[in-house]
Structures are given as C-alpha cells and as structure tokens.
Amino acid sequence: MTKRLILTRHAKSAWDDPLVPDHDRPLNERGKAAAADLGDWLASRGYVPDEVLCSDALRTRKTWSGIAPALPGTPILHLKPTLYHAGPDVMLAVLRHATSDTVMMIGHNPGIAEFAHRLVARAPLNPEFQRYPTGATLVAEFETDNWADVAYGAGVTLDFIVPRELVI
C-alpha cells in the first residue's frame, strides 16, 4: 500500500502592516491567486487530500481556504500550532500521526524546505526545489501501510510545482 503526501509552503503573504504579528499576516493578492491556482492544479492531477495538517498561522489557513474550493470532497482539517515555523523533525512527528492515505501538509520555510529535501530519495530536477518559494508544492509517495513508519529518504517524488509555473 502507498501513502501520498502533498507538501505545500503557504502562498505569498502580505507585509503591508509592520505592526501585524508574524503569526497573523494574511495573504497578499498574488498569494490569494496562487492558492486558487494550486487548488486547480491539484484537482487537475487528482492530487486530492483526505486529511490536511495545517499550521495555525493565518497565511497557512488562508492558503488552504484558497486551495479547497477547487477540490472535490471535504478533507479533514487539523490546525496544528506545532507546525508554525516547525523544523523537519517536528513536521515528521506530526505527519506520523496522520490517519488518511493522502495527506496535505501546509507549513513555513525554512523548515518545510529542509523537510522536503530530507523526505525524498531523489529531489525533483526543478531548480526551485532548493529554495522552496511561497506556494511550492511537492507530491511524494511512500511505500507503507502506516504514516508512523515513514522515514527520511523514503519518499518518491511524483510532482513538484511553484505557482509561477502553473499553466492550468
């Protein structure tokens, strides 16, 4: 059996108000459009999560709310405060508690970039994978029956995209 992970960095956020705490920064207009485009891209390829593990920061929640309308069904959404600026080991620990076959995780750099690099046996050829810019999305599969058994280097890259490359 396989498990599939959709690993997304939040879309572009706004920096308009320096008094807004980092946790409460919203998406800017480009970020809102990118989230919607990512939803269309995921749906067009059949990458549909059953469960979403999302940082509780505003920009990650808004990224999910921009993606969700394009997807069929209603995945289980878990807001995870521990994913806010989490490092790779924390992200892996959260993922190991997932219960669905296809899971989406929405988080932040620099942790999400390092997590993506550690997870897959072979990185995608796309040079943007190194930076993991806003909206970057990796789709990887793992040969396992249980997320608890997922280890670094075990993922097989299926796809990788950044919003500016999207042509739906």
List, for residues 105-151, the tens digit of each pLDDT value: 999 999 999 999 999 999 999 999 999 999 999 999 999 999 999 99
Predicted TM-score of the model (pTM): 0.96
The predicted model gives 88-102 an average pLDDT of 98
Q: What is the pLDDT of residue 37?
A: 97
Residue reference for tokens 């040969």 = 143
Q: What is the pLDDT of residue 20?
A: 87
DSSP 8-state symbol, 13:
B
Determine the Cα–Cα distance for residues 6 and 161; give it in Å rounded to an integer: 11
Q: What is the pLDDT of residue 21?
A: 92
Determine the Cα–Cα distance for residues 99 and 86; give it in Å rounded to an integer: 20
Residue reference for tokens 């490359």 = 165
Q: What is the pLDDT of residue 19?
A: 87
Tell me: the pLDDT tens digits for 49-59?
A: 999 999 999 99
Alpha helices (runs of H) in the chain, residue ranges in sequence order = 29-44, 58-67, 88-95, 111-119, 128-131
Counting Cβ atoms within 10 Å, is residue 65 exposed (0-12), middle (13-18) or buried (19+)?
middle
